[in-house]
């Protein structure tokens, strides 16, 4: 089972979902803007992604990032909490399978999970 944290308004997210479906993957779609991940889920996602710097998981160009007074140099804890409070900040799409994860930028990254 593959889970995608999906935003249907995002072209990369749509492309990633299509790639998964075209490969015949059994996909669970989580619209993370409507069903926001908790702080604990974001921490688990980070581990699945290989524990990257949290700044690699956050959309620093979003208006909410600036409005929240955030900086790329903020602590990982601060950035994770910001993503839990403002899910629009979560880089998209994130795709998970069997405890491993990738960010679908580019969408072809998900081939690692197939």
* Active-site residue set: 10
Three-point CA angle 38, 31, 60, nearest 5°: 65
CA distance 62 to 60: 6
How many other CB atoms sit within 10 Å of the CB of residue 29?
17
What is residue 62's DSSP assignment?
A: S
Taking only Cα atoms into account, the Rg of the chain, rounded to an integer number of angstroms, comes to 13
């Amino acid at each position: 089972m593959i889970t995608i944290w999906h935003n249907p308004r995002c072209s990369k997210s749509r492309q990633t979902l299509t790639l998964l479906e075209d490969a015949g993957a059994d996909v669970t779609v989580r619209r993370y803007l409507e069903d926001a991940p908790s702080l604990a889920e974001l921490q688990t996602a980070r581990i699945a992604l290989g524990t990257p710097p949290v700044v690699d998981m956050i959309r620093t160009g979003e208006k909410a990032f600036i409005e929240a007074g955030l900086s790329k140099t903020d602590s990982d804890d601060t950035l994770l909490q910001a993503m839990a409070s403002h899910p629009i900040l979560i880089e998209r799409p994130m795709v998970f399978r069997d405890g491993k994860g990738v960010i679908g930028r580019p969408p072809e990254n998900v081939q690692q999970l197939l």
